[in-house]
């Protein structure tokens, strides 16, 4: 009875540690094998490696082709990886669109890089989905076991850190864990803790950059930009703390804090001035986003017709159906919708038709070279012509010189934004600017009236 009982127990354990979709080991099996490997190397820490693979942009594949197609691709990826590896290597599916490989015989960075690069190329070859050819890419993060003090959890976290940095670097990237990466993750954790405290204490401030009528140079609205100065870290750029807020679940609280402050500040502006506010791509896949924004508008008594919500192409593409619903709900109460950074993401001209944007912002990468780069000039021309036909207003971002502004006017662009017209300023400085402009306008009106009376 006992041998049979042991067999049943072994079969059950094997079943519980097998991924039902791909037939590979699951997360439980991978961690068990990794822990066993580290225990075996405790006395003699011979290096070995692990690699984590994550599919770039897998959700749109499910949205476009259906979940069955997504499952087919996952099963084919599993087969490709398993077939390409040596028998002693182990590949498991950790869950979702993430796979892990244990490389017992790879112990140098060069060997890992060569092996993993070949696997990335293998995975990126086309997939046949119901007669359609689909291409994907993967990002990969690897770590080499060299420190006998690392347990399996610490070692796995090193590979996760490498994968995180690889995905931030761009689709199809491969990075191997380094000490510098570890230090960056430690600092990131410290910034996250400081950010949580700062959001809770209301220390993130809205700054406002003017958006102008290019023909007159006069402000027609302001974009709200987040600014944070920490006692220990000093001035922390939004490019650093906004992604942390998105990834660590702080973005809703941060949005609430900023939008409340921005709406209160904008109530002191002339009523013809609009407030432009950015939503994170992660908020366009959250149905609660509409409730959050509308509740703030009501609480601050801000006119929704003076609010413009900026969203990016990346945000729209993550979940088009949810994003379209959120945009529609905003428009129903009079909020205007602006598409930011146009031309740099996963562009789809159909999105301009389906989402009924009120405004489009030409990315600064085209504006910065519009004077000397003919292709960029033609792209700007094409965008302006397209938006004219669709009755969409256009704002050119990143204008830094008079010559650029004049060129854009010549091409037919009416709105602009950039350091040439003004740097971001706090609420008090923005009100002071508007007061100076108002006095200047009054003086012009007085002079014009005196001229008419004299004539």
How long, in residues, is the chain? 455
Tell me which of 218, 246, 397, 403 is the catalytic residue. 397
CA distance 307 to 266: 10
CA distance 263 to 302: 6
Judge whether 376 and 392 are in contact, CB under 8 Å: no
Q: Which residues contact 369 (CB under 8 A, 6 or more apart)?
A: 376
Identify the burial level of 234 via C-beta atoms within 10 angstroms of its C-beta, where 0-12 means exposed, 13-18 middle and 19 or more buried. Answer: exposed
Question: 337-348: b or e for each residue (b if 16 or more CB lie within 10 Å)?
Answer: bbbbbbbebeee
Here the tokens at position 188 are 């990131």
Location of structure tokens 């009120």 = 358
In whole angstroms, how far apart are CA 105 and each of 30, 280, 427? Answer: 17, 43, 60
CA distance 298 to 310: 20
CA distance 411 to 407: 6
Name the E strands within 231-330. Answer: 234-236, 274-278, 307-312
Phi, psi dihedrals of residue 426, rounded to the nearest 5°: -70, 175
Location of structure tokens 């119901």 = 130
Here the tokens at position 83 are 């077939």
The DSSP result for 43-58, as a single string, is: SS----EEEEEEETTH
Strand partners, 234: 230
Judge whether 99 and 80 are in contact, CB under 8 Å: no
The count of other CB atoms within 10 Å of the CB of residue 122 is 14
Identify the burial level of 213 via C-beta atoms within 10 angstroms of its C-beta, where 0-12 means exposed, 13-18 middle and 19 or more buried. Answer: middle
The DSSP result for 153-180, as a single string, is: HHHHHHHHHHHHHHHHH-TT-EEE--HH
Asked about 397 being catalytic, the answer comes back as yes
Q: Look at residue 118 and give its three-state secondary structure.
A: helix
CA distance 90 to 104: 9
By annotation, the residues acting in catalysis are 397
């Amino acid at each position: 009875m006992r041998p049979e009982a042991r067999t049943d127990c072994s079969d059950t354990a094997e079943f519980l540690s097998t991924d039902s979709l791909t037939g590979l080991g699951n997360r439980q099996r991978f961690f068990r094998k990794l822990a066993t490997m580290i225990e075996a190397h405790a006395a003699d820490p011979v290096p070995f490696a692990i690699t984590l693979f994550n599919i770039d942009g897998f959700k749109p594949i499910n949205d476009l082709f259906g979940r069955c197609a997504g499952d087919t691709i996952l099963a084919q990826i599993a087969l490709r990886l398993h077939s390409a590896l040596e028998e002693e290597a182990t590949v498991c599916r950790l869950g979702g669109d993430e796979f892990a490989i244990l490389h017992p015989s790879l112990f140098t960075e060069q060997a890992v890089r060569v092996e993993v690069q070949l696997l990335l190329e293998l995975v990126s070859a086309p997939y046949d989905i119901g007669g359609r050819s689909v291409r994907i890419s993967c990002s990969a993060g690897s770590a080499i076991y060299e420190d006998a003090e690392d347990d399996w959890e610490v070692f796995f976290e090193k590979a996760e850190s490498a994968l995180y940095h690889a995905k931030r670097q761009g689709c199809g990237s491969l990075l191997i864990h380094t000490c510098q990466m570890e230090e960056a993750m430690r600092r990131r954790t410290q910034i996250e803790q400081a950010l949580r405290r700062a959001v809770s204490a209301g220390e993130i401030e809205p700054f406002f950059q003017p958006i102008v009528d290019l023909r007159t140079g006069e402000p027609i609205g302001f974009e709200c930009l987040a600014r944070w100065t920490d006692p220990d870290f000093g001035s922390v750029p939004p490019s650093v703390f906004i992604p942390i807020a998105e990834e660590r679940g702080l973005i809703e609280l941060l949005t609430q804090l900023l939008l409340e402050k921005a709406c209160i500040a904008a109530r002191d502006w002339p009523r013809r001035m609009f407030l432009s506010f950015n939503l994170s791509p992660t908020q366009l896949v959250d149905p609660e986003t509409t409730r959050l924004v509308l509740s703030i508008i009501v609480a601050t008594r801000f006119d929704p017709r003076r609010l413009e919500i900026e969203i990016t192409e990346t945000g729209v593409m993550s979940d088009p159906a949810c994003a379209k619903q959120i945009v529609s709900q905003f428009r129903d109460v009079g909020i205007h919708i602006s598409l930011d950074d146009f031309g740099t993401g996963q562009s789809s001209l159909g999105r301009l038709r389906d989402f009924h944007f009120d405004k489009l912002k030409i990315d600064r990468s085209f504006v910065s070279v519009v004077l000397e780069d003919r292709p960029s000039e033609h792209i700007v021309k094409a965008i302006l012509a397209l938006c004219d036909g669709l009755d969409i207003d256009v704002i050119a971002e990143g204008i830094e010189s008079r010559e650029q502004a004049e060129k854009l006017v010549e091409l037919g662009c009416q709105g602009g934004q950039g350091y040439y017209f003004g740097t971001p300023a706090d609420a008090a400085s923005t009100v002071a600017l508007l007061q100076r402009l108002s006095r200047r306008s009054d003086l012009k009106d007085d002079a014009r009236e005196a001229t008419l009376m004299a004539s």
